[in-house]
Homo-oligomer: A and B are copies of this chain.
């Protein structure tokens, strides 16, 4: 029930609707936990059924009304408990690396293309990360406790991202040595 906990985490400080959660999951928390809107709506219902979330309809003008969810006391407790659970970590699954095991003269150009695309995507993401850090996390030691944790997640994203860029360059160089 990991997605449930990610959603509850997103609701720690704000009430959010399913639509907003789905949108936010493409940034912020979503950098290391993605979910489609279908999955989010389903999970919201499950969490509500368990009594961990409360729902409330909000009238809007200029847009359809929305249903916002907030953590209940039970939800807050369950989340706090979950943090103490020992979760086995799931190492990343990446198709690109599996594909690289199949490298040959025929597909080298295609794989170089995929790497280039991923590199560009990562550049954009890093740009965003850098902006967020500059704006909100300039001096991590002075942040309130919870924000320190958020900063650390961001910091890992930045480190891994930068390393990924360097790897892309190395990979493209090596792929260039493959004779076609």
Chain A interface residues toward B at CB < 8 A: 2, 5-6, 9, 12, 29, 31-34, 79-80, 82-84, 86-87, 89-108, 110-111, 114, 118, 140-141, 145-146, 148-153, 155-156, 159-160, 162-164, 166-167, 170-171, 174-175, 177-179
Q: Is the CB of A152 within 8 A of B170?
A: yes
Also in contact, A31 and B89, with CB within 8 A (given A79-B102, A159-B167): no
Identical copies in the complex: 2
Chain B residues in 8 Å Cβ range of A170:
152, 155
Q: Is the CB of B102 within 8 A of A9?
A: yes
> Of the candidates B91, B114, B153, which one forms a contact with A93 in the assembled complex, judged by CB atoms under 8 Å apart?
B91
Q: How far is the CA of A29 from the CA of B93 in the complex (A)?
A: 10
Chain B residues in 8 Å Cβ range of A99:
82-83, 87, 149
Q: Is the CB of A148 within 8 A of B102?
A: no
Q: How far is the CA of A94 from the CA of B152 in the complex (A)?
A: 13
Also in contact, A90 and B89, with CB within 8 A (given A84-B110, A101-B29, A102-B12): no
In whole Å, how far is A140's beta carbon from the nearest beta carbon of chain B? Answer: 6
Q: What are the 5 tightest A-B residue pairs by CB atom distance, in nearest-first order?
A: A103-B149, A100-B149, A87-B95, A97-B153, A159-B163
